[in-house]
Amino acid sequence: MWESIFLTVAATAGNNIGKVLQKKGTVILPPLSLKLKVVRAYASNRPWLIGFLMDIFGALLMLRALSLAPVSVIQPVSGCGLAILSIFSHFYLKEVMNVVDWMGITLAGIGTIGVGAGGEEQKASSISILHLPWLACGVAFLFVLLNGWLRIYRRQRREQELMQSEVVEEIIYGLESGILFGIASVISKMGFVFLEQGFPALLVPICISISICCSASGFVYQTRGLKHGRAVVVSTCAAVASIVTGVLAGMLALGERLPESPTSRSWLLLGWLLIVSGVILLVTSTRLVHFLPRKWRPVERRQLSSLRNREASSNPSTIIQTAALHHLI
């Protein structure tokens, strides 16, 4: 179990740090295209190339982690990526972090230890190919409800002649993208479970292909939310929905269960709660810090740069070709 935890932490670190390095490299690069001159420019840019390789390597490590442990363990731990990104930005990019950031990092770290301590090795679930249609129907039903809710609010907004986006739209787009990211993890894991149960090996690439499609769709919804809404709301909803969906869908579709030992079960549940809380604190830290005593508020202008970089790193429009592979899991 600890091996899969370490692999997940290393994978999410590679994904998130790779995104920052790619973003840093694109500052002096032209828009990405298939022209030979542009491709050479990207390939010769050291920060972008290192970030690209880290991103790919992180995705491969995440696939390996999913093959070793339940998705209900891997998906919450992957939420620590934002904490690792914050630490990297603080020491490498010299960005200022406030006390709320450090609290979020601490909670995410403790939560990861709790998940590792509470997780148990599980045998392959007795699933069948029929779980995929049921899972698809469940996701489709959720999207019908969310999109119906979105249409109602859009209609009310048109009737009231409101130009600005409502917070409801930000929440819905964030939830939809997070659900798709979580489902992508479950479908990838399902391919490995099928392989363990003796099904044809062809199901593994099929499941991975479906997972990539779910991830790409998730980026579309997240981009819509970020285009018209606030990154802090969309990113929070997406991160929490991704973790919750991965856990619940893993239990329902793959037969994953909570540990039988009360102590292990408590550690696992506490780990989930701390990771989700840490992610929420990290995403909302720039707003929450205003409620702290003045002496605890950072006054350096670098904090504005930190916010911009963090929002840019969560914006799918700034992520290069490897974005779909990043959220494949």
User: What would the pLDDT profile of 227-264 be if each residue is shown by its tens digit?
Assistant: 666 665 676 777 778 888 888 787 777 777 777 778 88
Q: Which amino acid is at 232?
A: V
For residue 28, give the H/E element and its range: none
The highest-confidence range among 34-38, 88-92, 166-170, 301-305, by mean pLDDT, is: 34-38
Comparing CA positions, the residue from 311, 255, 258, 262 lying closest to residue 282 is 311
The confidence score (pLDDT) of residue 228 equals 66
State pLDDT tens for residues 273-326.
888 888 788 777 777 777 777 766 655 444 444 545 544 444 433 333 344 344
What is the model's pLDDT at position 231? 61
* Token digits of residue 228: 């018209």
Task: State the pLDDT at residue 298.
Answer: 59
- Whole-prediction pTM: 0.68
Is residue 206 pLDDT above 80, yes or no? yes
State how far the Cα of 88 lies from the Cα of 79, in Å rounded to an integer: 15
State the average pLDDT for the chain: 75
Cα gap 201→192, rounded to integer Å? 9
Instruction: Give me the helices (H) in the chain, please.
Output: 2-25, 36-43, 46-68, 71-78, 81-91, 99-118, 131-159, 167-196, 203-228, 231-254, 262-288, 302-314, 323-326
For residue 148, pLDDT over 60 is answered with yes
Say which residue the tokens 């030992």 belong to: 261
For the segment 110-136, the average pLDDT, to the nearest whole number, is 68
